[in-house]
Amino acid sequence: MWRVCVFAALLPLALAQDPKKDPNQIGARNVSKGVNWYSIQKEMALGRQLAQEVEKTHTVVTDKGVTEYVNRIGQNLALHSDAKIPVTIKVIEGDEPNAITLPGGYIYIQTGLIRTADTEAQLAAALAHEIAHVAARHGTRQATHSQVGQIATIPLIFLPLGGLCGIGANHVLLPAGLLAEQRAYEREADMLGLQYLYKTGYDPLGMVEIFERIFSLDDRKHGKASHVFSTHPDGDERLILVQKNIESQLAEQPQYVVTTSDFNKMEVRLSALAWEKKPEPVGPRPPTLHKSGEEAAATKKFVPQSAARASQIKEAYNIR
């Protein structure tokens, strides 16, 4: 196939140079390497304190059909990640397509993010990105670099649309050094999360799709100009990098999980929750990437990865 042929000779050499780019080394590499004043135990204690504050100001969803489903996906991804810290995943109410990731492995997924996903692979991609932040210990590494001494000031470093550390852009002014560092961490979380998604068996293009939906909503709500001061890289840049990482780091697989009947059941339960969703911003809808697939095992839909499909994505995002 075209994509395999192009990268077959270059892939082993590229991966050998940087273990972070080799999904075959997941679990046996140290992706959190760097200056960090926080031991694992201290980080987990810090995370527990911050988690208590989050739960004081947010409504935690208690519906078992939703919470157990999301947690099951997240724990499966964590098993295929580099995380050395146990991951705790909860769902909170909120209409933004975002998540909160705290030091110590605490992840809060907003209902707006779940509703934004059209498939299980898209939802898993969002969770994988957050788990990557946990695995790389971005929270305490940046707190160390910032010489933050007060627990209460740490959340100021991580403030996207709906929380402390998530996928969408944010609009808080930070010093240039912190801004560059935060953007670098987001790129790394995209790369590592993509690998975790792939290793768990999901369609890696689920990350392209969920990002495209989130960035489209963010642009319609805040406008492109707001990205100048965002702690997250520009959405178009991230989409291009994710697709390039798919082609340069991930070997072709015969099939991937796209969605399951459990995802559809969860959507029904989520829609029944007493949470009033705000109307979407006015503006052009994001493009829909149609893809053919086949039903397998009665509950799972698999889509073969193909050169034609890769070309479709490349054309959609003008990737060279």
Strands of the 294-296 sheet, one edge to the other: 257-260, 300-302, 294-296
Measured distance CA(129)–CA(140) in Å, rounded: 17
**Where does 79-167 show beta strands of DSSP type E?**
88-92, 99-102, 106-110
The 10 Å Cβ neighbour count of residue 293 is: 14
Place of tokens 């140079």: 17
**The predicted structure's pLDDT at residue 246:** 96
**The predicted structure's pLDDT at residue 175:** 54
pLDDT in tens, 90-104: 999 998 899 999 999
Instruction: Give the mean model confidence (pLDDT) for residues 31-56.
Output: 93
CA angle 87, 93, 95 (to 5 degrees): 115
Q: 223 pLDDT band (50/70/90 cuts)?
A: low
pLDDT in tens, 131-160: 999 999 998 988 887 764 444 444 433 334
**The predicted structure's pLDDT at residue 50:** 92
**The predicted structure's pLDDT at residue 284:** 55
Measured distance CA(192)–CA(182) in Å, rounded: 15
Please say whether the dihedral angle defined by the alpha carbons of residues 213, 219, 220 and 222, taken in this order, is positive or negative: positive
Measured distance CA(75)–CA(287) in Å, rounded: 31
pLDDT in tens, 162-182: 333 445 544 444 455 567 788
Instruction: Give the mean model confidence (pLDDT) for residues 295-320.
Output: 43
Q: Give the closest residue to 247 by CA, choosing from 40, 14, 79.
A: 14
**The predicted structure's pLDDT at residue 38:** 92
**The predicted structure's pLDDT at residue 262:** 97
More confident call, 72 vs 11: 72
Q: Are 235 and 220 in contact (CB under 8 A)?
A: no
pLDDT in tens, 242-278: 999 999 999 999 999 999 999 999 999 998 886 554 4
Q: Give the closest residue to 10 by CA, choosing from 273, 314, 249, 263.
A: 249
In sequence order, what are the beta bridge partners of 301? 259, 295
- pLDDT exceeds 80 at position 3: no
Instruction: Give the mean model confidence (pLDDT) for residues 108-116.
Output: 95
What average pLDDT does the structure give for the chain? 77
Q: 203 pLDDT band (50/70/90 cuts)?
A: very high
Measured distance CA(55)–CA(48) in Å, rounded: 11
**The predicted structure's pLDDT at residue 182:** 83
- pLDDT exceeds 60 at position 289: no
**The predicted structure's pLDDT at residue 272:** 86
- pLDDT exceeds 50 at position 60: yes
Query: Structural domain boundaries of the chain?
Result: 2-316
**The predicted structure's pLDDT at residue 183:** 85
Measured distance CA(62)–CA(250) in Å, rounded: 37
Phi then psi for residue 119, to 5 deg, are: -140, 165
**The predicted structure's pLDDT at residue 146:** 73
Instruction: Give the mean model confidence (pLDDT) for residues 62-78.
Output: 97
- pLDDT exceeds 50 at position 312: no
The 10 Å Cβ neighbour count of residue 106 is: 27
